[in-house]
Amino acid sequence: MSKPILFIFLLILSLSASSQTLAPKYSNEFLAIGVGARALGMSGAVSSLSDDVTSGYWNPAGLTRVRGNLQVALMHSEYFAGIAKYDYGALAAPIDATRTVGFSMIRFAVDDIIDSTDLIDKDGNIDYDRLRSFSSADYAFVLSYAQRLKKEGLRFGVNAKVIHRKVGEFASAWGFGLDAGLQYTHNRWSYALVGKDITSTFNAWSYNTERLETVFQQTGNAIPENGLEVTLPRLVAGVSRLMPVGKKFSVQPSLDLDITFDGKRNVPVKTDVFSIDPKIGLELCYDNLIYLRGGVGNIQTVKNIDASTSTTVQPNMGLGIRLRNLSIDYALTNIGSASGALYSNVFSLRLDIFRQENPTDNKPAN
């Protein structure tokens, strides 16, 4: 194991062990949804093969493989019958032949929530003119840097991310965290190791107690206190292989192992120290023009009404088309629910911008 990989791994283990008892199991979960229809159609198993602007989310090391002088990506999706909106935008630009920078922004929000805390005036009268609305929104701003290392095929990247979460005028939080990733390509095999929140991410919450005090006292609830919410580190290990089939077809299977260190989770491999959540993806390509994708993730054991247990999985699928410098991707996600499927249709766009009049694919071979 190389020194950078060993350092990241030991850092994650040490920080996780020291803060495990202080942190909730789930924190900043809006950052676990994923970006880009290509990756979502493959169940997120893309840490080793990510090679475009969305690498700022999946593995910053992959940013060194972007095409063009500037690459831009946009995505919009909706969840819970359109109640929640998820928006993503990113750009990446090479500095030179070995270095690339990127910037990403994510917003996950429920808008137009009715605020009825002032519905009744001080005289006890109901006044519907006093109704207002607010948004509960989570934001992430990510600055990425990636560089090719001296060893051929080895790439390294880091993220610095700022988190802002806001619940109307009632509460807000600011947080900061770091990610780091490696990619290595050799003989059509690609490997990846990504450390998410490697120093832990701390959200500092503040509450508008003056705004909440009256309502909380009337309902008998305790007024929340300002405090810290900690997102523990996690490790993603990935592998994929590009296999040409004839002159125009190729197949690329991939596997990601999402390793968490906050105790047992409902995943296939779980211990008191760590849990492993596997994700499997597959991409079929025709002539670098049309892509067919599929994946399986979210493997869980559920208890049935008769007290028996069964295993559920979440299959995903997608389709992509590349038209010169524009890529259009589609994914059908959140399917396979045993109690009635919930379908989410995700579309994303990626644009490669070149300075030269007649662009060619300048993506590096490794």
Sorted by where each begins, the domain ranges of the chain are 3-353
Tell me what percent of the chain is helix, strand and coil, each rounded to the nearest 5: 15, 50, 35
pLDDT of residue 18: 42
Tell me the CATH class for 3-353.
mainly beta
Q: Of residues 212 and 31, which shows the higher confidence score?
A: 31
* Residues forming a β-bridge with 90: 73, 104
Answer whether 335's CB lies under 8 Å from 314's CB: yes
* pLDDT for position 255: 97
Nearest to 293 by CA among 268, 323, 318: 318
40: pLDDT confidence band, cut at 50, 70 and 90? very high
Residue 95 pLDDT > 60: yes
Q: In angstroms, rounded to a whole number, what is the distance separating the alpha carbons of residues 143 and 66?
A: 16
Q: What's the pLDDT score for residue 23? A: 55
Render pLDDT for 153-187 as a digit per residue (tens, 0 to 9). 999 999 999 999 998 888 899 999 999 999 999 99
Give 262-290 pLDDT, tens digit per residue: 888 888 998 888 999 999 999 999 999 99
Q: How far apart are CA 83 and CA 20, in angstroms?
A: 33
pLDDT(13) > 50: no
pLDDT at 213: 67
- Print burial letters for 203-212: b (CB count within 10 Å at least 16), e (below 16): bebebeeebb
To which H or E segment does residue 19 belong? Answer: helix 3-19
Mean pLDDT of 11-30: 54
pLDDT of 357 > 70? The answer is no
pLDDT tens column, 118-155? 667 677 777 777 777 888 999 999 999 999 999 999 99
184 SS3 class? strand
User: What pLDDT sits at residue 219?
Assistant: 67
pLDDT at 19: 42
Q: What percent of the chain has pLDDT over 70?
A: 83
What's the chain's average pLDDT? 85
pLDDT for 275:
92
Distances (CA, A) of 137 to 36, 172, 175, 197, 292: 20, 9, 14, 21, 33
